[in-house]
Amino acid sequence: MYNKKNIIFCVLLCLLTIIIDQASKWVVLSNLNINSSIKVFTGFNLVLTFNYGTSFGLLSPNTAYGTYCLIALSLLLIIILLCAFFKLKNNIERILLSVLIGGAIANLLDRIIHGAVIDFIDIYYKDWHWPVFNIADMAITCSAICLILYNLFKSNNTKYCR
């Protein structure tokens, strides 16, 4: 049922996502002060921020209890994703889910270690700024979009191939 090489590849991909994210955050923490900014090029800055809430800073807890609730919720979601991973039969979906899980674990590590998720990528146009994010956020978002698109096209192909 499971190809051992594929599972090992997925675990390594998950670990690579975590390592790249955590290494990038270490570099930023070592070189930037909170809310200081480095212009990389027009439309792209590096800025150190701490996100105490969920995506886009929503649901920011004002207490340690709130932070613990977000940690517990993150753990629960990771467990659900891991269960889904082992139910999948398709390697493409496993690979994409591995990247998503890696991103989720990387952000969970931030919450446990720092009490907040470290964000530092600031994309902007003139005075409009997208909410600051990190490598793990990109991994989560890109893999989720790819999973959705893959399943949309997969289901469409099965309908038309009969």
pLDDT tens for each residue of 14-43: 999 999 999 999 999 999 998 788 999 999
Distance CA 45, CA 36 (A): 10
> Number of structural domains, the chain?
1
Structure tokens belonging to residue 144: 């989720």
pLDDT at 50: 92
pLDDT tens for each residue of 76-135: 999 999 999 999 989 999 999 999 999 999 999 999 999 999 999 999 999 999 999 999
Residue 61: pLDDT band (50, 70, 90) is low
- Annotated catalytic residues are 119, 137
Residue 157: pLDDT band (50, 70, 90) is low
Supply the range of the domain harboring residue 123. Answer: 4-160
Closest CA to 142 of 20, 17, 7, 32: 17
Q: What pTM value is reported for the model?
A: 0.88
- What is the DSSP secondary structure assignment for residue 42, as one 8-state letter? T
- For residue 4, the Cα-to-chain-centroid distance in whole angstroms is 25
pLDDT at 162: 42
CB 45 within 8 A of CB 39: yes
pLDDT over threshold 80, residue 44: yes
Phi and psi angles of residue 121, each rounded to the nearest 5 degrees, phi first: -95, 115
pLDDT at 23: 98
pLDDT at 149: 95
pLDDT over threshold 60, residue 57: no
